[in-house]
Amino acid sequence: MSKKYAFLFPGQGAQAPGMVKDIAESFAAAKKVIDDISSITGLDMAKLLWESTPEDLARSDNSQIAITAASLATMAALKEKGIEPSSAMGFSLGEFPALYAAGVLSFEDVIKVVRQRGIIMQKVCEEIAARNEGHAPGMTAVLGLTPDQVKALVEPIEDAYAANMNSLKQTVVSGTFDALAEVEKKAAEAGARRAVRLKVAGPFHSPLMQDAAVEFEKFLADITFNDPKINLFSNVTGGKVIDGDQAKKAAVLHLTHPVLWTDEEACLADVIKAGDEWSVLEVGPGKVLSGLWGQTEFGATLAAVPVNTAEGVSAL
């Protein structure tokens, strides 16, 4: 029985200066990915990935293309070793590398789409900040309360929305600066273990991003979305992606709808239970998704492995 692999791709917040530098130096296929993305975007990706300040890298127009480059470079290094996915899903931004991994988007198209998505979202986030006396919108992770508790907590707070269903004990809220301050106060009063402001540039996966969704839909009009060639799971539905048309519609809804990550994890677990030998790999910077997978019932018996260094790739 041959081993199968499920790839999990991280989203914004996973970025860090210097990410995947050792992978690009150790695997020719990874270095080629970085160079090809530079050619497509006109950006110096090596400089962006390895010489940016944390503040510059946190901007949506920088972080989205940088994290995607890091994830695709890592995937190329894995392919160089003969490791390819049979299932793929990505958290928030990570859904776009997953679309590429599943054959839904071509390499050139996924780079163009992610680059434009980041530019559009950064612009809308700056517009929201301008309307709020320069205070940037963002996201806060509430730890220690159930998703239903968080939803009830934010419902009366204007411009605050439960956005990412990370686990049974962690829900991320999107909102304006003032709304998030109120959420953090209410969460403490409700007994939350912590409320942590995230390193992201905007109130993603909420109605506050509607202007971005409208503009992004126009950009996607001429982009071809193919049917997935492997199991692919959707943040928007929490289930399997059926075809390219559904994937394209979800790419737009993605900006304003919550990330149903716990539902996706359950769907992946059902696929894994089918009897094959599986490994779950977090492909790209960080290890957040491995931690969330470990909080699931199934993750207790099959751990997810973060793959974000040359040593990690070589160890597989």
Identity of residue 194: R
What distance in Å separates the CA atoms of residue 267 and residue 57, rounded to the nearest whole number? Answer: 32
Q: Pick from 223, 246, 277: which is nearest to 113 by CA?
A: 223
What distance in Å separates the CA atoms of residue 194 and residue 56, rounded to the nearest whole number? Answer: 26
Residue 92 annotated to the active site:
yes
In 3-state terms, what secondary structure has residue 220?
A: helix
Selecting among 52, 60, 92, 290, the annotated active-site residue is: 92
Residues paired with residue 165 on neighbouring β-strands, in sequence order: 171
Selecting among 63, 205, 257, 290, the annotated active-site residue is: 205
- Please say whether the dihedral angle defined by the alpha carbons of residues 214, 101, 170 and 267, taken in this order, is positive or negative: positive
- Cα within 13 Å of Cα(94), Cβ side: 29
Residues paired with residue 171 on neighbouring β-strands, in sequence order: 142, 165
Identity of residue 297: E
Q: Helices 177-189 and 147-154 meet at what angle, rounded to 10?
A: 130
Residue 52 annotated to the active site:
no
Identity of residue 303: A
What distance in Å separates the CA atoms of residue 35 and residue 2, rounded to the nearest whole number? Answer: 33
What distance in Å separates the CA atoms of residue 179 and residue 128, rounded to the nearest whole number? Answer: 13
Q: Active-site positions? A: 92, 205
